[in-house]
Amino acid sequence: MNFKSRVLPELRATLEQLPPLDLPNDLQLFRSFPLQEAEKSPHVATRNQMIAGPSSNLLLKIYEPVNRLETALPALLWIHGGGYVLGHPDSDDALCERFVVDTHCVVVSVDYRLAPEHPYPAAIDDCYAALKWMAATSELNIDLTRIAVAGASAGGGLTAALSLMARDQGGPAISFQMPLYPMIDDRNATASSHEITTNRSVWNRDNNRAAWGLYLGEHASGTIPPYAAPSRAESYEGLPPTYTCVGQLDPFRDETIEYVARLAQAGVEVEFQMYPGCFHAFELAAPQAEVSRRASKGYVEALNRALNPQKMRG
């Protein structure tokens, strides 16, 4: 059975319209594609904030409820995807606004440095700087006991890495993490990494190998730190409660399943959902499909339960 025949019928048309990606050859081409502007929510105020990063100023995009009260709100650090080599916070405007509206939180989206111009550890260092700024600043008026971290694909990998780093460095405290179909294993040794090879699948084995090489840079031929590839961490003990999901036709399927199992074995509360017939980042590529609405509703509700436990119990 070929890849296309395994994809849910409601997703096939979108898959056929997506341009195939060939890394590293198409990197600059894909970076030049204009972003689709999302319809702005009247309930969300958005602003850009520059902070001091590890090597230069770092752009954060901040989303918060319009006319918010003085009460401290929970907060989410959102980390965009793109294989560690692509992406920008602007591409996730609609999703970040949805988080604000549906979970009544403040969202900070970080414009971390991209490889290959800035290989590991630039991206994770930027994300850690953003997390530390969130916890230290009084500008956001957030509840420091309710800070979550989330991201998709490479953003999910950085989410998992950031949770490890915050645990090992003694903070800032993360109350919940949501690494969605995370890019966390550089070895490309799982069955699903060998299974998804077509370039008509959003992300495949060849692009994954190329992206990891660009991201790891000089580390690629040496010992890979767990803050680069979280699958290599010796222990997941002490990590925050976790939600994740993945499509069954995603090359990250098996590393996600292994991650979930190891979290559970380490005593971490973890919730997991797999979607048959769905390729990598399907809910972002085809947001109006029924399965996409179901998937995004699942993780938005998981975030809401984590950030507003008293409201959910009430």
Rounded to whole angstroms, how far apart are CA atoms 202 and 183?
Answer: 14
Q: What is the mean pLDDT of residues 287-304?
A: 98
What is the token pair recorded at 284? Answer: 């972002």
Residue type, 90: D
What is the token pair recorded at 296? Answer: 């995004």
The answer to whether 46 touches 289, Cβ cutoff 8 Å, is: no
What is the token pair recorded at 21? Answer: 């990606």
Which residue out of 41, 175, 186, 280 is catalytically annotated? 280
**Is it the case that residue 313 has pLDDT exceeding 60?**
no
Instruction: Evaluate whether residue 314 is within a structural domain.
Output: no
Instruction: Evaluate whether residue 299 is within a structural domain.
Output: yes
Split into its structural domains, the chain has a count of 1
Rounded to whole angstroms, how far apart are CA atoms 161 and 184?
Answer: 8
Question: Taking the model in full, what pTM does it have?
Answer: 0.96
pLDDT tens track for 33-76: 998 888 899 999 999 999 999 999 999 999 999 988 889 999 99
Q: Cα angle at 177 between 105 and 270, to 5 degrees?
A: 125
DSSP 91: G
Query: What proportion of the chain, given as a percentage, has pLDDT over 70?
Result: 99
Tell me what the pLDDT averaged over the chain comes to. Answer: 96
What is the number of alpha carbons within 13 Å of residue 147 lying toward its C-beta? 23
Rounded to whole angstroms, how far apart are CA atoms 270 and 261?
Answer: 9
pLDDT tens track for 136-189: 999 999 999 999 999 999 999 999 999 999 999 999 999 999 999 999 999 999
Rounded to whole angstroms, how far apart are CA atoms 232 and 244?
Answer: 18
Taking Cα atoms as reference points, which of 99, 43, 143 lies closest to residue 299?
Answer: 99
Backbone angles phi, psi at 27, to 5 degrees: -60, -55
**Is it the case that residue 116 has pLDDT exceeding 70?**
yes
Instruction: Evaluate whether residue 54 is within a structural domain.
Output: yes
CATH no. for residue 62?
Answer: 3.40.50.1820
- C-alpha distance across the termini of the chain, in Å: 48
Paired residues of 110 in beta bridges: 60
Task: Check if 153 is active-site.
Answer: yes
Instruction: Evaluate whether residue 137 is within a structural domain.
Output: yes
Q: Which residues contact 150 (CB under 8 A, 6 or more apart)?
A: 76, 77, 78, 79, 156, 159, 177, 178, 179, 180, 299, 303
- pLDDT bin (cut points 50, 70, 90) of residue 107 is very high
Rounded to whole angstroms, how far apart are CA atoms 130 and 136?
Answer: 10
Range of the domain at 159: 3-308
Instruction: Evaluate whether residue 313 is within a structural domain.
Output: no
**Is it the case that residue 217 has pLDDT exceeding 70?**
yes
Res 70: pLDDT: 85
Instruction: Evaluate whether residue 152 is within a structural domain.
Output: yes
Cβ atoms < 10 Å from Cβ of 154? 27
Q: What is the mean pLDDT of residues 210-218?
A: 96
Which residue out of 41, 91, 109, 153 is catalytically annotated? 153
Which residue out of 111, 126, 250, 254 is catalytically annotated? 250
Instruction: Evaluate whether residue 213 is within a structural domain.
Output: yes
Instruction: Evaluate whether residue 28 is within a structural domain.
Output: yes
Outline where 137-278 has alpha helix (H): 154-169, 191-195, 205-216, 253-265
Query: What proportion of the chain, given as a percentage, has pLDDT over 90?
Result: 91
Q: What is the mean pLDDT of residues 241-262?
A: 98
